[in-house]
Amino acid sequence: MNFQLTDQQLSIQNITRQLAQTELLPTVLKDDEEGKFPEKAYAKMGQMGLIGLPFPKEYGGQGADYLSYVLAVEEISKVNSSVGIAYSVCTSLFSGGLINSASEELKKKYLPDVLSGKKMGAFCLTEPEAGSDAAGCKTTALWDGEAYVLNGLKCFITNGPLADYFLVFALTDPEKKTKGLSAFVVEKAMPGVSVGTIENKCGIRSAQVSEIIFENVRVPKENMVGEEGRGFAVAMKDLDGGRIGVAAQGLGIAKGAYDIALQYLKDRQQFGKPLFKNQYLTFKMAELSVQIEQAQYMLYKAAMDKQEGRSYSISAAKAKMVCTDAAMQVSQEAVQMLGGNGYMKEYHVERMMRDAKITQIYEGTNEIQKLVISGSLFR
C-alpha cells in the first residue's frame, strides 16, 4: 500500500495551507470573539476551486479525488475550524446529497453556484426532538395537488443564516415515520422560510448556526431529492460522507494544536533550559504524535474507500470517532503544556479546545459511531 500523496494532492494541500495562513489566520481571533464568519475568505476558497474539489466538472466541480478534499478541510481546520465545518457541510452534506441522490436537473440548477462559492448550502435534518434519533422528525411536507407544503422547525443548522439553499428532510407520509421521510432542496428565498434563533456557542463561534423555520412553504415536486419516502436513506448515505468531513476537521484541530505546542516547547525557557528538555513533556508529545498519525491513517482509509467505490459507512464512523477524540485530547494537552499561556486567547489552543468538543457531538455523536461500528461486528 502506498502511503505517499500524489503531486496533485500535495499541491492542493500546499495551496490550501497558504490560503489558511494568509486569509484566515490574521482575523481568526477577532472572528471567534465577534462570532463573525469570514465570508470573503470563503468566497475566495470557491474561486480557487476548493469547495467543488471532489465533484465532476460538469456540475462546476474540479474533478479531483476525495482525499484531496479531505486534505483541504484538514488544512483549513488547522487554522479556523469554524470555516472547516462550514466547508464540510456545504461540500459533504449539501452538495454530496445532491450528487448522490438528486436529478440531473437539480444538480445542474443548484451545484454550479454552490461549488464556486457564490452561494452556500446547508443540511436540515436535526430538530428539537430529533437529534441522534432521526425517527423523531416532525417536520411535514404534505402534497396538496400542486406542491408539497412544508411546515416545521429545524435546529442547530450550520450555515443556516448564510445559506441560500437547504437540503431539508420532512415527512411526506407522517404515519410511516422514517419510511415516510423525503428530501427536498428548499431555497431561502421561497416565501415562508425564515431564520430563527442564531446560536451563541461555546466553540466554532464564527460558524453561523441557527434554527430554520418553515411555514407553509410551497416546494415544487421537481425539488424532491430521490424518491418519495426514501429520505432516510438519502440522509444516512449523506451523513457517511459528512463524517469523513468532520473527521478531517478534527484531525486539522489536532494537528494545529500539536504544532503550536511543539513550537512552544522549543521556544519557552524554564529553569534555564527549553521546555522540551523535560522528558515528561517530550514523552507526552510522542504519545500525541502517535495518536494523530493513527487517526490520520484511519481518515485517509475512509476517504480512499469512498473515492474507490468501496463501502465506507464503517470506515467513516471509525475515522470520525478517532479523529475527533484526537482533536479533544491533543487540544486539552496543548493547553496544559502551555500552562497559563494556553488559557489565553492569543495562543489559539484554548479556542481549538473549545472547537474540538463539538466535533465529538455533531453528525452523529461518538457514542452513535460506536453503535454503528459494534453493529457491524455482530451481524
The residue ranges of every structural domain in the chain are 7-119, 122-232, 235-377
What is the per-residue pLDDT for 71?
98
Q: What whole-number distance in Å separates Cα of residue 285 and Cα of residue 334?
A: 9
**Which letter does DSSP use for residue 130 in this model?**
B
Please identify which residue in the block is written with the cell numbers 502511503.
3
Say if 7-119 and 235-377 have the same CATH topology.
Answer: no
Average pLDDT over residues 137-155: 97
Tell me the C-alpha to C-alpha distance, in Å, between residue 59 and each of 56, 62, 86, 116, 151: 6, 9, 20, 10, 30
Catalytic choice (75, 211, 350, 363):
363
pLDDT confidence of residue 132: 80
Q: Which helix (H) or strand (E) holds 374?
A: helix 366-377
Report how far residue 371's alpha carbon sits from residue 366's, in angstroms, rounded to the nearest whole number: 9
CATH class of 7-119: mainly alpha
**Mean pLDDT of the region 90-108:** 97
pLDDT at 2: 78
In the numeric block, which cell numbers belong to residue 195? 431564520
The domain defined by 235-377 carries CATH number 1.20.1050.10: no
- What is the mean predicted confidence (pLDDT) over 228-237? 95
243 contacts 363 by C-beta, under 8 angstroms: yes
Query: How many whole angstroms separate alpha carbon 224 and alpha carbon 228?
Result: 7
The residues, ordered by sequence, that sit 6+ positions from 75 with a Cβ below 8 Å of its Cβ are 13, 16, 17, 20, 252
222 catalytic per annotation: no
Distances in whole angstroms, Cα of residue 175 to Cα of each of 136, 171, 181, 213, 270: 12, 9, 10, 22, 67
The 10s digit of each residue's pLDDT in 171-227 is: 999 999 899 999 999 999 999 999 999 999 999 999 999 999 999 999 999 999 999
What is the spatial distance between Cα 50 and Cα 87, in angstroms, rounded to a whole number? Answer: 9
Q: How high is the pLDDT of residue 134?
A: 78
Mean pLDDT of the region 117-138 = 92
pLDDT of residue 108: 98
Query: For residues 217 and 192, is the Cβ–Cβ distance under 8 A?
Result: yes
Burial class (CB in 10 A: 0-12, 13-18, 19+), 131: middle
Least Cα distance to 264 among 71, 205, 6, 256 occurs for: 256
For residue 123, pLDDT over 80 is answered with yes
Residue 133: the pLDDT is 82
- CA 18 – CA 11 distance, rounded (Å): 11
107-120 per-position pLDDT tens digit: 999 999 999 999 99
- What is d(CA 1, CA 211) in angstroms, rounded to the nearest whole number? 45
Per DSSP, what are the bridge partners of residue 193? 214
Compute φ and ψ for 108, nearest 5 degrees. Answer: -75, -25
pLDDT band at 34 (very low <50, low <70, confident <90, very high): very high
Structural contact between residues 106 and 59, judged by C-beta atoms closer than 8 angstroms: no
Which residues contact residue 137 at a Cβ distance below 8 angstroms, ignoring those fewer than 6 apart? 125, 127, 130, 169, 170, 171, 178, 181
The CATH code of domain 122-232 reads: 2.40.110.10
Mean pLDDT score of the chain: 96
CA 136 → CA 127, 139, 310, distances in Å?
Answer: 8, 9, 30
Within 10 A of 229 (CB to CB), how many other CB atoms are there?
Answer: 16
Q: What is the pLDDT of residue 88?
A: 98
Q: How many CA atoms lie within 13 A of 61 on its CB side?
A: 24
pLDDT tens-place string over residues 281-334 = 999 999 999 999 999 999 999 999 999 999 999 999 999 999 999 999 999 999
pLDDT, residue 270, reads 87
